[in-house]
Amino acid sequence: MQSANVRAGKLLQVKNFIRDDILTPQLDGVNLVFTISNTYIPGTIALTLNGVELLKGSGKDFLETTATTVTLFIAPGSTEELVASYIKS
């Protein structure tokens, strides 16, 4: 199955693949909504918490809420590491 960008004749460039992007705001055990540094192509984001990939979807670990934010269902603590990998649009 081809993505919309491929069907539209756009080529994905290596510079558009973002790995281990640090999200904001800081992890504090309270924040559930986190901002991604770039606008990403929906469906391409993967989050890892302390090196473990989180599951995306309702009733799982997180949801894509806008083109630049994700919402987790459990707030990561201040000693944890949350990073995102995705294709930026």
pLDDT at 1: 42
Angle at 80 between CA 88 and CA 78, to 5 degrees: 110
Question: Between vectors from CA 46 to CA 31 and to CA 72, what angle results, nearest 5°?
Answer: 25
Helix or strand run (H / E) with residue 83? strand 82-87
Q: Tell if the pTM clears 0.75, that is, is over it.
A: yes
Nearest Cα residue to 64 out of 36, 27, 26, 83? 36
Q: pLDDT (tens digit, 0 to 9) for every residue of the chain, 89 residues total?
A: 445 554 455 566 778 899 999 999 999 999 999 999 999 999 999 999 999 999 999 999 999 999 999 999 999 999 999 999 999 98
State the Rg of the chain over Cα: 14
The structural domains of the chain, with segments of one domain joined by +, span 16-87
